[in-house]
Structure 1
Amino acid sequence: MDTNDPQIILGTMDFGTRVDPDRGFAILDSFAAGGGVWLDTANCYSYWSDPSGSGGASECVIGAWLRARPATRGAVRIATKVRHNPLVPHAPQSAEGLCARAVRVGLEGSLERLGVDHVDLLWAHAEDRAVLLEETVGAFGELVAKGTALRVGAANHATWRVQHARSLAQEQRVEPWSALQLRHSLVLPRPLTPLAETGHRMLTAEDLDLARSEGLAVWSYTSLMWGSYVRADKPLPQTYDHPGTARVLTVLKDVAGELAATRNQVVLAWLMRQGIDPIVGTSRMEQVEEALAARHVRLDDEHLARFAEAR
């Protein structure tokens, strides 16, 4: 596969906490064997599920896997994030933030846990408006100049902040953010309705316009809505309870039947058809196989039109 084509990203948030290391190894093995490339983690994953109250468990599992499978380091790419790891265990209000020192120290800790000398993509996990954007941009640029991060990107940032940061990077002559990570899926919440997950930021048409104009990569999270497309015991949140959702789900059922694909696969294919790289969090190997098979599901213009009309 051309690495410039949209790809399935393996989300590893629960590794080392809700997903034990042995199962994490099996999922990583299956992903790599199926031709998967990108692993997505963060230095804060998952402090809320870890008895220690601190992040790092996910990166530790990936690092142990890389040491046990040394040949895989050249086959996979690692993306991690800084911003949210609590400096005081069990105290999210003590999050490290995005000052220059926090960015530098955060990545140093990630590299140690991962057992690597660089990451392929470093994300600013969310905005930190207590810090001048010039400082954050300079810190990320410094890491690229040192070679400890090959690329940098912004997750959960307002569109105007990303563009402003890119202008600041140009002024400072440092590497700009070249990727966006935002929440996106086939179904949409009710307009103007706040999400229950306050830290999440939805992908907008403006984000996509910026990405396409500037050649930025776009990654989506919560791509499969926690299994709600296929599991009766995982209903969509109340914010998605509106007529458009019902129409979309009807079209999704029909298209999946026509293409002999699962509903999850159709959703992932829909995202990739738009040039978006969907992150898929899994807890079983069969979920990895299902997700990777979505690369072979072909949606034509008529399918896209039906979804657009339903939304």
Structure 2
Amino acid sequence: MKTYPLGGTGVEVSAMCLGAMYFGTRNDRESSFALLDQYVEAGGSFIDTANIYAHWVEGFQGGESEMLLGEWMRERGNRSDLFLASKVGFALPGVEQGLRAWQIEAECDKSLRKLGVDIIDLYYAHVDDRSTPQEESLEAFARLHQAGKVRFIGASNFRAWRLEQAHAISAANGWPDYCCLQQRYTYLRPKHDSKFGGQVAVNEDLLDYLRTRRDDFTLLAYSPLLSGAYTRDDRPLPEQYVGADSEARLAALREVAAAHDATLNQVVLAWMLHSDPVVLPVMAASTSEQMAENLAALDLALSPDEMARLNTAKA
């Protein structure tokens, strides 16, 4: 699998990151192991989880994804071949939402134990905690880095100005800087001022900011396929994406997909990887067929004309 630089870390990661949100909950042990094996066999090594996954599934408390990954890594003996990401900040049963120093450090220790590893390669601030000074949060991440518990740090669900504020604080104190942002992003554009609960969608202001930092900061996209809404009749588009230029952009997707005998999902994923700057998708799959479909997008080459058509499609 092709790799791309992760911000200014000097490390390259898989073009497609595998989201493990429902491994150990909606996906049982057997199916989770099979999907993980399929991803690794395709050359992937970048796996994404979080301390909260997936407490909202009935009968579960959170942390199941990390524990499942730990079990899989022990059985396969492949920890050294992987680039592992986890997150802290959102609430789960018994844990309040926030990025206070003690929360970051305590949850990191819990994640290390559940994963059964000594170090997390990429540790995200999963949500922007406006009630805690960024200095406190970033200093806690710096202590984790110094202690050898975390290699790099990232942000998720942050606005552009907060990222720049964090960038300045880290530079002034000699602390590790956020190297990437994981944000809600897909080909369709949400309507202005759409709300996604605690999630934050990429907007033009953020894209403009990212272009100024293309050499030292990477954008990763979560929910790139809108839970199957591009291709499944039983999954309507989220209402935030209905209207405006959605029909024009869907038409452009269909035209490009037909020209390549590809699925809409594959075109969306390929569009991200052909974008400037490159956007790395955090893709998920619940079946081997879905995994194969997503991975096949890596072989889909979009021409400059096709990218222009996709980028400029509007009502």
TM-score class, shorter: over 0.9
Q: 1:63 maps to what in 2?
A: 70
- Identity across the alignment (%): 34
> Quick one: distance in 2 between partners of 1:33 and 1:99?
39
Q: What does 1:138-217 align with in structure 2 at a 5 Å threshold?
A: 138-192=139-193, 194-195=194-195, 197-214=196-213, 215-217=216-218
Partners of 2:70 and 2:168 lie apart in 1 by 35
Report the Cα distance in structure 1 between the residues aligned to 2:269 and 2:232, rounded to whole angstroms: 16
Please state how far the C-alpha of 1:285 moved relative to its aligned partner: 1.4
The answer to whether structure 1 residue 51 and structure 2 residue 59 are counterparts is yes
| Contact in 1 for aligned 2:91/2:97 (Cα 8 Å) | yes
Aligned 1:204-243 pairs, distance under 5 A: 204-214=203-213, 215-243=216-244
SS of 1:120 mapped into structure 2: strand
TM-score (norm 2): 0.92
CA contact (8 A) 2:49 2:66 kept: yes
Q: CA deviation at 1:55?
A: 1.3
Query: Conserved in 2, the CA contact under 8 Å of 1:268 and 1:278?
Result: yes
Question: Once the two structures are superposed, what CA deviation does each residue of 1:190-216 show, in whole Å capped at 9, x if it has no partner?
Answer: 223x23x31111112332333332320
SS state at 2:262 partner = coil
Letter in 2 for 1:42: A
The number of equivalent residue pairs is: 302
Instruction: Compute the RMSD of aligned alpha carbons.
Output: 1.5
Q: 1:198 to 1:19 in 2, by over 3 A?
A: same
How far apart, in 1, do the equivalents of 2:59 and 2:264 lie? 35
Check 1:2–1:290 CA distance in 2 against 1; reply closer, same or farther (3 A cut).
closer
Shift of 1:243: 4.6
Q: From the superposition, tell whether residues 295 and 2 of structure 1 become closer, same or farther in structure 2 (CA, over 3 Å).
A: closer
Q: Could you list the structure 1 runs, at least 4 aligned residues long, displaced by more than 6 angstroms after superposition.
A: none
Task: Quote the Cα distance in structure 2 between the aligned partners of 1:305 and 1:3.
Answer: 24
Tell me which residue corresponds to 1:249.
Answer: 250
Q: Deviations over 1:264-301 (max 9, x none)?
A: 11100001112001111211112112111111111111
Deviations 1:137-194 (A, max 9, x none): 11111112222111101100111111111111112211111101111101112223x2
Separation of aligned partners in 2, 1:127 and 1:181: 12
CA distance in 1 between counterparts of 2:102 and 2:171 reads 21
Q: Report which stretch shifted further, 198-207 or 106-115.
A: 198-207
1:13-50 per-residue CA deviation (whole Å, 9 max, x = no partner) reads: 11111111111101000000011121111001111115
Going from structure 1 to structure 2, the CA distance change for 1:85 and 1:198 (only over 3 Å counts) comes to closer
Match of 2:82 in 1: 76
Secondary structure in structure 1 of the residue aligned to 2:178: coil
- Give the Å deviation of 1:2: 4.7
Residue aligning to 1:133: 134
Q: In 2, are the aligned partners of 1:251 and 1:306 still within 8 Å (CA)?
A: yes
Structure 1 unaligned blocks of 5 or more:
89-93
Distance of aligned partners of 1:298 and 1:153 in 2 relative to their CA distance in 1, 3 Å threshold: same
Q: Output the CA distance in 1 between the equivalents of 2:199 and 2:97.
A: 18
- Structure 1 counterpart of 2:307: 304
Which amino acid counterpart does residue 146 of structure 1 have in structure 2? A
Provide the C-alpha distance between the structure 2 equivalents of 1:138 and 1:84, rounded to a whole number of angstroms. 19
Amino acid at match of 1:226: S
AA at the equivalent of 1:34: A
**Is 1:33 the equivalent of 2:41?**
yes
Could you list the runs of 5+ residues in structure 2 that have no partner in the other structure?
Answer: 6-13
Residue 178 of structure 1 aligns to a residue whose secondary structure is: strand
What does residue range 270-285 of structure 1 map to in structure 2 within 5 Å? 270-274=271-275, 275-285=278-288
CA distance in 2, matches of 1:84, 1:243: 31
What code does the residue aligned with 1:283 have? S
Q: Conserved in 1, the CA contact under 8 Å of 2:191 and 2:244?
A: no
Counterpart amino acid of 2:155? A
The whole-number CA distance in structure 1 between the counterparts of 2:231 and 2:56 is 26
Please give the alpha-carbon distance, in whole angstroms, between the structure 1 residues aligned to 2:130 and 2:73. 35
Q: Which moved more, 1:118-127 or 1:234-243?
A: 234-243
Are the equivalent residues in 1 in contact too, given 2:2–2:15 (CA < 8 A)?
no
Q: Is the 8 A contact 2:185 2:223 kept in 1?
A: yes
Give the conservation status (yes or no) of the 8 Å contact 2:186–2:224: yes
Aligned to 1:23: 31
1:150 alignment partner, SS class: strand
Partner residue of 1:288 out of 287, 291, 311: 291
TM-score (norm 1): 0.93
Is the 1:87–1:96 contact (alpha carbons within 8 Å) kept by the matching residues of 2? no
